[in-house]
Structures are given as C-alpha cells and as structure tokens.
Amino acid sequence: MSRLRAALTPYLLLFPGTLWLAIFFVVPTVVMLSLSLQSGDVVNGYAFTFNWHSYVDGISTYHDQIVRSLVYGLVSTVIQIVIGFPVAYWIAFKGGTRKSIYLFLLLLPFLVSFVLRTISWQFFLSDNGLLLGPLKSLGLVPQDFHILATSAAVIGGLAYNFLPFMILPMYVALERIDPRVLEAAQDLYASKAQTFLRVVLPLSLPGVFAGVLMTFVPATSDYVNASVLGGTSNTMIGNVIQNQFLVNQDYPTASALSFTLMALLLVGIFAYAKALGTEDVLEVAAR
C-alpha cells in the first residue's frame, strides 16, 4: 500500500500543474490549430476544410510585419544585453551588502502594470512631453522632431519593458562566479581585460542565454508597445493577430499567423540553442 502511494506521489504532485496546462495551454492550442485550417466566416460559421490558404495568404499579406517583429525583437534584445550586462555585473560584483536593495529598485517599476508603464512612456516621449518639450523650447532639437510613432520608440519601449528579465538571469550567473576564480586568473598573469574575456564572460553566458530566451520571445510577439508607442507604419505581427481576432474576427487568419509566429520562434530558439548551447558555449570560451 505504502509502495503504491510512493509510486503515485510524483503523479499526484504533477497533477494540478498538468491539469492547468491541459486546460489553458493544450486545449486552446489544439482549438487554434484547428481554427487555422478552417474556412468560412463569423456569420455563416466555420468548417474544417484543411484550408492552408490562411497560412499562405497570411504570410504573404503580413510578411512585412513578421519580419519587422523579428527585427524589433532582435534589436531590443541586443540593446537589453548591452544595457543590462553592466548593470548585472555591477550589482553582482560591486553591490556588496546592498545587492538586494539594488535588485528591488530594478524591479520596483514592475509593481506597476505593463500597459500603464508603456502609456507613461507615451507621455514622456510625446512631441511636447517631458523629454522633448524642454529640449524644443531650448531650441536643442528642431520643432518637428518626434520620437513617438517611430521604430525607435517601439524598440525602446520593448527594451525597457523586458530589461529586468534580461538582467536577472545574467545577475544570477555572475553572482555565482567564485571571486577566487577571478583572483586565480589574475594570479595566472591575466590582465583585468583578459580576466573578463576569458573567465567572467564565458561563465556568464548561461545567464545571457536564459535572458535572451526570456526577452526575445515576448518582445517579438508583443503588441502593446507597437500600438501605444508606434504609429501605423510600425505595426508588429502581434498587432495584426490582435486585429484579426478582435476587429476583423477572421479567426482562421489570426490563428494561422499565431502558429506561424510560434513556429518561427521555436525554430529560432532551437537554432540559437544549437549554435550557442550552454555546454558548447563554455567549450568555445575555454579556447
């Protein structure tokens, strides 16, 4: 009896999570996959017809938005690495006893909702807002200069909104580096720069890897930043999908685009993991 219970325990523990995933992930995914292959319209109803047209039409029509989303996601991820790495490094190695305070400060803005933060960026960046207003009245930038409704605004918003998810895993990886390992490098004639390149950087790569996964995916599929900060010419695939679902009620196209995006992201992640998988990353860095 007790042996049976011991055998069942792992399944019992997994049960709530499995149920959750089944209801809120597997079922909607299957429904969406089915929808993407149906034809019809919202008035006359849909029928399952193995209709690949939604994919073909969707991709050819919204090709630009798909590419733009991947580019925005990529550029914002690179910006986050460039901004986030020094922050994570500084907190991990120079934070001393105040590390947890700095981490708290980093997360403080995130007690406010994602949408509200994006809208406050809209205020901040608006044509005569907090940033540009004073600059324009001082004549430092031309009167017709604007940031909103440019790709820079969208990418900046994406980089800002996902930054902590880049910094935290990098911080964890850097924090775990034994300071004596860095001293060992110095002791073995490595300069500060060589110590960083040969030891700190390779040991932090698993954190960068995790950070990229946690920011590139949501940034690429985001639609809030593009709709709040971008104009009509900067729409991302997320906006298109949202529009197809909620405005046009073209469910097959919306579903097909969702699956296309998901497939692209999965392929991208696997290619990235293959090229820079943590084990291999370390192997390369050791040379």
Partner 1 sequence: MTEIQAGPGAAVAAAPVSGDVPAIELDHVVKEYVSHGEVVRAVKGVSLAIAEGEFFSLLGPSGCGKTTSMRMIAGFEDPTQGVVRLHGEDVTSVPPNKRDINMVFQSYALFPHMNVWDNVAFGLKRKKVPDAEIKRRVGEILEVVDLVGREKRRPKEMSGGQQQRVALARALVNRPRALLLDEPLGALDLKLRQAMQIELKRIQREVGITFVYVTHDQSEALTMSDRIAVMNDGLVEQLAEPREIYERPASKFVAGFIGTSNLLSGTVQQITGDTAVLALGASDRILVPADGALAAGASVDLTVRPEKIKIAKDQPEGDLSVVRGTVSEVVYLGTYNSYVVRLGDGAEITVFEQNANDSTITAERGDAVWLSWQPWHSYALR
Residues that bind partner 1 (CB under 8 A): 178, 180-181, 183-191, 194, 198-199, 202-203, 282, 285-287
One-letter amino acid for residue 82 of the chain: V
Choice between 92 and 185, CB closer to partner 1: 185
Q: Is 240 exposed, middle or buried (0-12, 13-18, 19+ CB in 10 A)?
A: buried
One-letter amino acid for residue 279 of the chain: E
Decide: 148 and 68 in contact? Cβ < 8 Å: no
CB of 193 to partner 1, least distance (A): 11
One-letter amino acid for residue 49 of the chain: T
Decide: 77 and 215 in contact? Cβ < 8 Å: yes
How far apart are alpha carbons 21 and 25 in whole angstroms? 5
Choice between 144 and 279, CB closer to partner 1: 279
The closest alpha carbon to 222, from 236, 205, 202, belongs to 236
Instruction: Tell me how far CA of residue 79 lies from CA of 8, 74, 185, 212, in angstroms.
Output: 47, 9, 29, 11
CB of 192 to partner 1, least distance (A): 8
Choice between 53 and 176, CB closer to partner 1: 176
Choice between 193 and 246, CB closer to partner 1: 193
CB of 215 to partner 1, least distance (A): 24
One-letter amino acid for residue 165 of the chain: F
Choice between 155 and 205, CB closer to partner 1: 205
CB of 188 to partner 1, least distance (A): 4
CB of 90 to partner 1, least distance (A): 21
How far apart are alpha carbons 78 and 253 in whole angstroms? 31
Choice between 2 and 97, CB closer to partner 1: 97
How far apart are alpha carbons 92 and 174 in whole angstroms? 6
CB of 96 to partner 1, least distance (A): 11
**Sequence-distant (≥ 6) Cβ neighbours of residue 69 within 8 angstroms:** 220, 221, 236, 237, 238, 261
